[in-house]
Amino acid sequence: MYCVYVDGQYGTTGLKIKDYLSKHQNVQILTIDYEKRRDPETRKKYMNEADIVFLCLPDQAAKEAVKLIENSETRIIDASSAHRIDDDWAYGIPELGPTQRDRIKNSKRVSVPGCHATAAILALSPLVKGGIVPKNYPAAIFSVTGYSGGGKDVIAKYESGNRDRHLDIPRHYALSQNHKHLPEIQKYAGLDDKPMLIPVICDYYKGLAVSIPLFSNKLAKDHSPEEIRHFLANYYSGEPFVNVMPNETEGFLEDGSFDITACNDTNRAELFVLGNDDRIMLMTRLDNLGKGASGAAIQCMNIMLEIPEQTGLV
């Protein structure tokens, strides 16, 4: 039995991680009193007693929390964006490549990816590595997400009984192109330049879909949607949590439209390759609180503890 402590266990991601852990047969959760959740000495005590510490904190607070851990055996899984492009931290997408699981397993510091980043990287990274999408491709990423990704304050605004009317409609944000997921997307997708990221928050709780257009005449050579789909299916063959979806019948569409929420309450990511031979659309959907955050954190913990990867997630 492993001892696990969640620092920030009363926030959106922390609560979801605790929910996963409560059904996990291999761990014991160290629970801090709500009144002492910000007391550094109490937090320090729990952190140094734990085998695994999850950090579910703002970036600066996560950096400060790392300093509280003096036990060299304690391993950290950080859900913030503070360490995502730090080479001393393993990046928490096990499906990133053939050596990534070993990198996570052997690391004492793992950074959980962002939800937009996870969806974009799963679609783009294999194609860049495979030479299908050039490294200098001007990638544009359109991402639609439920409001839970904004955290407790945003959730409270959306669920308020007297909320502002502008919350009723989809809202573009991060319009200055400085979204905190951009550096990790560039690094782990293997792009020469930061992509355009156009996130849109909508009036539903959770579920995320990323769309990335590819123009065939801008690729290394012309590829049909089916050729790209076949390449991705081979790349992710055998992966328990990444499915490349067949599109012969487009049976996943509802009256011709795409269901963003179909992966909710799972740790699954589904990839689609749509369009025609000239204009191809990559799409990834996932639960922004599952594979996009807390589920990914539990998946990494299982790998670090060398227990079956799907434990507590299926």
Residue numbers annotated as active site: 115
How many other C-beta atoms are found inside a 10 Å radius of the C-beta of residue 68? 17
3 state SS of 202: strand
Cα–Cα distance for residue pair 97/213, rounded to 1 Å: 23
CB 274 within 8 A of CB 245: no
Q: Write out the DSSP string of 60-128.
A: HHHHHHHHT---TT-EEEE-SSTTTT-TTSEES-GGGSTTHHHHHHT-SEEEPPPHHHHHHHHHHHHHH
Phi, psi for residue 242 in degrees, rounded to 5:
-120, 120
Q: Tell which residue, 308, 254, 307, 314, has the closest CA to residue 290.
A: 314
Cβ neighbours around 28 below 10 Å, total:
14
Q: How far apart are CA 272 and CA 134, in angstroms?
A: 20
Under a CB-based contact definition with an 8 Å cutoff, are residues 3 and 30 in contact? yes
- Residues 227 and 219: beta-carbon distance below 8 Å: no
The CA-based angle 170-269-22, given to 5 degrees, is 95
| CA–CA distance, 244 with 230 (Å, rounded to integer) | 9
